[in-house]
């Protein structure tokens, strides 16, 4: 999809907010614990390369991504710090892992066996591949389940001349919830895994943003994988108070491209789902579901000069209409996410309207919307 610069719809990314979130997190970390910035899914929609560079400038020690291609994007942009791919990379792609000097996740014994076969025939393997063993302590996603399986994997890696054991990690399923019972069960299991090993790799890590924010005194490991918090979003939504004020890094803005007064009883949008009950000012904004602003957003209100204006009629692919309290000039700024004259629409408000989480909202914003970086 082509990025559409020649239109007033923009995602504004505030560098200072993003950097401050990371600085504030690093300040709270126990001594010796490093922060890896999670920039998967194009930095949760904020731009992976830009987010990684901002994180780096304030002390991130490395990066986490979800896929091999995301890791390659960072390397090609000149990032030289450790990059860990969190999900499974097929052994058939291992030459790329070597070429780009990446760290990868291993979750099964079968993978290790297959990887060893691939590595045996790889020509001129200059450096061994760096492996983080994933322990599944209760997420039920990827990883070895028992301490014995982890130990066996570690032994296999250490017996190999073209693998190094660089990390051991797990992932919490409920760190963003008030009830910490299950978090503790997972932490206990991870500590059992650690105890079953006679030595540990360079990185041991368990914390996503929620664990780092709410279990900082008890989180196992010497590195955290800090994701949503760096973008200024509370991982728990409404459930838990922020440990320090998180500053939202993204705003979404546009402009009125047409303003008209419709007579009473006129239809607005496809399917004519809205009829003007009386004479009304209607404004049109150039953003729609192809930009990731879904049709379900009908009925939500946007900010025009500090006043909330409801989206009326169906959201179209590229445009939507709002009801204005009075005439506004064409070119007036419209805030979809962010602040306007003392009022605010948060990513969480959008998520609440859609019945989802803000993670999904920022990831959904499509490539068509330009990301503009400001201090
Ligand atoms: C996405 C992800 C993270 C980051 O989670 P946040 O909630 O955004 O901090 C950490 N670890 C793993 C394994 C992940 O998949």
3-class DSSP string for 243-260: CCCCCCCEEEEEECCEEE
Phi-psi sector, 73: left (phi>0), alpha (psi -120 to 50), beta: alpha
pLDDT < 50 stretches in the chain = none
The answer to whether 32-231 and 250-374 have equal CATH topology is no
- Which residues are designated catalytic? 40, 270
Alpha-carbon distance of 277 to 228, in angstroms, equals 42
Query: How far, in Å, from the CA of 18 to the mean position of ligand 1?
Result: 17
Alpha-carbon distance of 16 to 322, in angstroms, equals 32
Q: How far is CA 33 from the centre of its chain?
A: 21
- Please identify which residue in the block is written with the tokens 């709410």: 214
In the prediction, which pLDDT does 121 show?
87
Phi-psi sector, 311: left (phi>0), alpha (psi -120 to 50), beta: beta
Minimum-distance ligand 1 atom for the alpha carbon of 44: 8
Alpha-carbon distance of 53 to 155, in angstroms, equals 36
Q: Is the CB of 205 under 6 A from ligand 1?
A: no
Three-class SS state of 110: helix
Minimum-distance ligand 1 atom for the alpha carbon of 175: 7
250-374, CATH topology level = Lyase, Ornithine Decarboxylase; Chain A, domain 1 (2.40.37)
Instruction: Tell me the two tokens of residue 220.
Output: 């196992």
Nearest to 308 by CA among 280, 284, 332, 343: 343
Answering whether pTM is above 0.85, one says: yes
Q: Is the CB of 14 under 6 A from ligand 1?
A: no
User: Which residues lie closer than 8 Å to 194 by C-beta, 6 or more apart?
Assistant: 168, 200, 204, 220
Instruction: Tell me the two tokens of residue 205.
Output: 């890590």
- Best residue among 227, 236, 243 to mutate for probing ligand 1's pocket (most ligand atoms within 8 Å of CB) is 227
Minimum-distance ligand 1 atom for the alpha carbon of 40: 1
In the prediction, which pLDDT does 127 show?
85
Query: How far, in Å, from the CA of 208 to the mean position of ligand 1?
Result: 5
Query: How far, in Å, from the CA of 210 to the mean position of ligand 1?
Result: 9
In the prediction, which pLDDT does 313 show?
98
Q: Domain coordinates of the chain in residue numbers?
A: 32-231, 250-374
Q: Is the CB of 130 under 6 A from ligand 1?
A: no
CATH 3.20.20.10 fits 32-231, yes or no: yes
In the prediction, which pLDDT does 295 show?
98
Three-class SS state of 133: strand
In the prediction, which pLDDT does 122 show?
81
Question: Which residue positions form the known binding site for substrate?
Answer: 141, 317
Q: Is the CB of 52 under 6 A from ligand 1?
A: no
Nearest to 38 by CA among 245, 231, 214, 237: 231
Kindly report the backbone phi and psi dihedral angles of residue 229, in degrees, each rounded to the nearest multiple of 5, phi listed first: -60, -35
Axis-axis angle for helices 48-57, 68-76 (nearest 10):
60
- Please identify which residue in the block is written with the tokens 């390659």: 72
């Amino acid at each position: 999809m082509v990025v559409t610069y020649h239109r007033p719809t923009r995602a504004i990314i505030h560098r200072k907010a993003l950097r401050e979130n990371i600085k504030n997190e690093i300040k709270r970390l126990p001594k010796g614990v490093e922060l890896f910035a999670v920039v998967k899914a194009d930095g949760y929609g904020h731009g992976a390369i830009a987010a990684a560079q901002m994180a780096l400038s304030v002390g991130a020690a490395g990066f986490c991504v979800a896929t091999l291609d995301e890791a390659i994007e960072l390397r090609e942009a000149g990032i030289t710090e450790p990059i860990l791919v969190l999900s499974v990379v097929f052994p058939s792609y291992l030459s790329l892992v070597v070429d780009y000097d990446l760290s990868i996740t291993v979750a099964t014994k079968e993978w290790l066996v297959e990887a060893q076969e691939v590595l045996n025939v790889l020509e001129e393997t200059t450096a061994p591949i760096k492996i983080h063993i994933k322990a599944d302590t209760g997420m039920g996603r990827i990883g070895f389940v028992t301490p014995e399986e982890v130990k066996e994997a570690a032994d296999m890696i250490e017996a190999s001349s073209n693998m190094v054991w660089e990390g051991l990690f797990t992932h919490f399923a409920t760190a963003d919830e008030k009830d910490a019972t299950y978090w503790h069960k997972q932490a206990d299991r991870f500590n059992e895994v650690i105890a079953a090993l006679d030595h540990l790799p360079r990185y041991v890590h368990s914390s996503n943003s929620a664990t780092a924010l709410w279990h900082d005194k008890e989180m196992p490991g010497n590195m955290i994988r800090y994701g949503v918090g760096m973008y200024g979003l509370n991982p728990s939504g409404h459930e838990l108070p922020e440990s320090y004020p998180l500053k939202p890094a993204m705003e979404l803005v546009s402009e009125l491209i047409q303003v008209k007064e419709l007579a009473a009883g006129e239809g607005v949008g496809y399917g004519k789902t809205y009829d003007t009950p009386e004479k009304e000012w209607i404004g049109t904004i150039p953003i729609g579901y192809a930009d990731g602003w879904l049709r379900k957003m009908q009925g939500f209100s946007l900010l025009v000069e500090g006043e909330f204006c409801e989206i009326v009629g169906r959201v179209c692919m590229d445009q939507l209409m709002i009801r204005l309290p009075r005439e506004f000039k064409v070119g007036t700024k419209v805030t979809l996410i962010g602040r306007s004259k003392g009022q605010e629409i948060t990513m969480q408000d959008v998520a609440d309207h859609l019945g989802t989480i803000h993670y999904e909202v920022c990831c959904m914003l499509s490539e068509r919307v330009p990301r503009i970086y400001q201090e």
